């Protein structure tokens, strides 16, 4: 896309505007258009700033005039202004955030000359000029290859320490793109080992020292060491701590200048790398609804950690759920990556263990019990019994297996333990899905709801749109295979997660216990996002099961015999 070929009238207008400006001022000359790198149009010009001549270049973007051009020194190594981006572009009155298509190169030239003249004639230079050069945190950190993420809890710990006290510590670090990002995870204080709250305990580990530096010596002074000073100063930093000066790889100092950190890589005294501090921010509690603030005390079981279950679990972890029980016997393979919430790092691992690790990275304070077994499969009865007991202790159970055998078992646990339950199904081909909820005493039992749902499907007189072609796939008319993709699975999984949150918080946002939702036209659906709610009558609560006097007497006899016998006796005797 070459704008000046598509809109030659705009090119003519640009030249006329610059020519008119040059004829009306005495500080602009030597201007001319040319073709720069990537076939981009450029405008070379020279402005007078006091007694100096400054050669500049205006670079037109490919989407001009809808996007803003850049003005840079023609000498790319020249630093002209404090109001200048690291790549050389001047931060002018007109920028990407306030550019309008009716502006021209002449407006940019006026702005550039005004900026440079003001800096040259104002006492204090650029520091005294008003600035709109406001950078986001992301923009400021683009060139920071070494970063340390810290929390208020760490700063408070250092402030409570006696000035000059040095404490051994460990940090975790990871490689993220071109950056190395570290965080302190533990400090050996005089009162014992302190663990960073809310931070994950994973990643590469290194040892070092943290300290509070007394005034007037600043943190900058403490870490601004020459290579010759490093061996002696590093040994002094590590003195009276458990840190070994020969292997300690970082020092973090809180002083009058703020928080400073330096890394000594490769266990050498020859190189000290300054690190940019990055505040970790709040724990996210302000970003979830007030109704969900008590979620940390809730426990949720997720049976099935495949494409849908992994997404439901991750969403609930982000909602603040504090404890999970995960059940699934499957192993993650490469083909699962097209829909599962996991990635290549988990290929070959059991899904429950990989999902557990993911939940701990979402919320490091979460507790997860992972059980790699198959409900309804050939498993030791003792293992299954223990798993079912764990399910019964949860505040809510999610069945994401879409397996009838597993559903029967999970629904029986939910009904007998009086626990809410949510289950879901993604239809083959991704045309839609079903989400359902059971609340003891408020909704019909899960088995009744499933039967009602199947009866409803059968009553529609609408045959399925094709033949099943494997998990999440179906063959439509004409032989075309339709496959549910990650986005379609995610929509239904997120509906189920929202259903679960509502049930956990005692809400009533969903007046119906079952919803069938369309994601595309097909089967009974005429358009995406159609919803078919289904109500299932709640049976009247029956009274307690009637026990005959004869049954009671025989039961008492059996119980008495059980507790009277030695546990090692033959139970048939």
570 assigned to some structural domain: no
Q: Kindly report the CATH number assigned to the domain that includes residue 127.
A: 3.10.110.10
What is the SS3 assignment for 123-134? CCHHHHCCCCCC
User: What is the count of structural domains for the chain?
Assistant: 3
pLDDT value at residue 118? 85
Q: What is the pLDDT averaged over residues 232-238?
A: 63
Residues 102 and 216 in one domain: no
Task: Provide the domain limits for residue 88.
Answer: 3-133
Residues 381 and 528 in one domain: yes
Residues 85 and 179 in one domain: no
Residues 98 and 156 in one domain: no
Give the domain-ending residue among 75, 101, 133. Answer: 133
Angle at 554 between CA 551 and CA 560, to 5 degrees: 135
Residues 7 and 116 in one domain: yes
556 assigned to some structural domain: no
288 assigned to some structural domain: no
DSSP H or E stretch at residue 485? none
Residues 33 and 171 in one domain: no
Residues 379 and 528 in one domain: yes
368 assigned to some structural domain: yes
Cα separation of the two ends of the chain: 92
- How far from chain centre, in Å, is Cα 381? 38
Give the percent of the chain with pLDDT over 90. Answer: 50
Residues 178 and 127 in one domain: no
The tally of CA atoms less than 13 A away on the side-chain side of residue 407 is 19
Secondary structure class of 244 (helix, strand, coil): coil
Average per-residue pLDDT for the chain: 84
If one counts every other C-beta atom within 10 angstroms of the C-beta of residue 69, the result is: 26
Which pTM value belongs to this model?
0.76
Q: Dump pLDDT digits (tens) for 334-383.
A: 999 999 999 999 999 999 999 999 999 999 999 999 999 998 777 888 88
498 assigned to some structural domain: yes
Q: Kindly report the CATH number assigned to the domain that includes residue 234.
A: 3.40.140
pLDDT of residue 471 exceeding 80? no
The model's confidence at residue 464, banded by pLDDT at 50, 70 and 90, is low
Q: How far apart are CA 397 and CA 151, in angstroms?
A: 34
Residues 98 and 172 in one domain: no
Residues 429 and 326 in one domain: yes
Hey, what's the torsion of the CAs at 457, 459, 463, 464, to 10 degrees?
0
275 assigned to some structural domain: yes
141 assigned to some structural domain: no
> Residue 361 in contact with residue 349, Cβ under 8 Å?
no
573 assigned to some structural domain: no
Residues 87 and 215 in one domain: no
Give the domain-ending residue among 133, 164, 189. Answer: 133
pLDDT value at residue 401? 93
Residues 47 and 172 in one domain: no
Q: Kindly report the CATH number assigned to the domain that includes residue 362.
A: 3.40.50.720
């Amino acid at each position: 896309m070459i704008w000046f070929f598509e809109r030659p009238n705009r090119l003519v207008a640009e030249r006329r505007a610059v020519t008119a400006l040059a004829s009306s001022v005495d500080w602009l000359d030597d201007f001319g258009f040319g073709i720069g790198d990537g076939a981009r149009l450029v405008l070379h010009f020279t402005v007078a700033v006091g007694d100096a001549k400054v050669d500049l270049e205006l670079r037109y973007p490919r989407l001009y005039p809808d996007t803003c051009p850049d003005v840079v020194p023609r000498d790319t190594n020249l630093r002209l202004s404090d109001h200048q981006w690291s790549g050389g572009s001047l931060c002018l009155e007109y920028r990407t955030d306030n550019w309008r298509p009716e502006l021209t190169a002449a407006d940019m030239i006026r702005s550039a000359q005004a900026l440079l003249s003001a800096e040259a004639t104002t006492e204090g230079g650029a520091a005294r000029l008003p600035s709109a050069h406001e950078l986001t945190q992301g923009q400021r950190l683009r060139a920071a290859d070494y970063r340390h993420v810290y929390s208020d809890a760490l700063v408070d710990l250092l402030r409570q320490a006696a000035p000059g006290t040095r404490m051994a510590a460990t940090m975790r670090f990871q490689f993220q793109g071109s950056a190395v990002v570290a965080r302190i995870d533990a400090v050996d204080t005089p009162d014992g080992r302190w663990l960073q709250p809310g931070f994950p305990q994973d990643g590469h580990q290194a040892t070092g020292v943290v300290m509070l530096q007394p005034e007037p010596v600043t943190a900058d002074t403490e870490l601004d060491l020459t290579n010759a000073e490093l061996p002696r100063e590093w040994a002094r930093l590590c003195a009276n701590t458990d840190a070994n000066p020969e292997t300690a790889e970082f020092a973090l100092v809180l002083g009058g200048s703020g928080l400073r950190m330096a890394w000594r890589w490769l266990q050498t005294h020859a190189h000290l790398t300054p690190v940019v501090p990055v505040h970790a921010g709040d724990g996210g509690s302000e970003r979830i609804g007030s109704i969900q603030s008590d979620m940390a005390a809730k426990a949720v079981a997720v049976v099935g950690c495949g494409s849908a279950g992994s997404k439901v679990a991750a969403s609930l972890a982000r909602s603040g759920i504090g404890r999970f029980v995960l059940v699934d016997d499957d192993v993650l393979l490469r083909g699962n990556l097209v829909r599962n919430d996991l990635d290549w790092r988990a290929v070959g691992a059991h899904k429950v263990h990989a999902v557990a690790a993911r939940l701990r990275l979402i919320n490091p304070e979460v507790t997860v019990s992972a059980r790699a077994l198959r409900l309804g499969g050939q498993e030791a009865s003792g293992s299954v019994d223990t798993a079912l007991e764990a399910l019964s202790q949860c505040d809510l159970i999610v069945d994401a297996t879409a397996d009838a055998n597993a559903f029967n078992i999970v629904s029986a646990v939910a009904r007998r333990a009086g626990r809410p339950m949510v289950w879901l199904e993604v239809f083959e081909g991704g045309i839609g899905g079903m989400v359902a909820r059971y609340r003891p005493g408020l909704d019909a039992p899960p088995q009744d709801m499933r039967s009602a749902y199947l009866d409803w499907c059968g009553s529609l007189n609408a045959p399925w749109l094709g033949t099943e072609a494997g998990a999440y796939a179906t063959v439509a008319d004409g032989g075309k295979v339709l496959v549910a993709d990650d986005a379609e699975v995610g929509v239904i999984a997120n509906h189920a997660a929202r259903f679960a949150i509502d049930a956990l918080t005692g809400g009533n946002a969903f007046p119906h216990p079952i919803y069938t939702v369309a994601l595309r036209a097909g089967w009974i659906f005429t358009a995406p996002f159609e919803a078919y709610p289904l109500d299932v009558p709640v049976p009247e609560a029956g009274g307690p099961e009637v026990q005959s006097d004869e049954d009671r007497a025989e039961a008492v006899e059996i119980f008495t015999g059980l507790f009277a016998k030695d546990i090692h006796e033959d139970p048939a005797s």
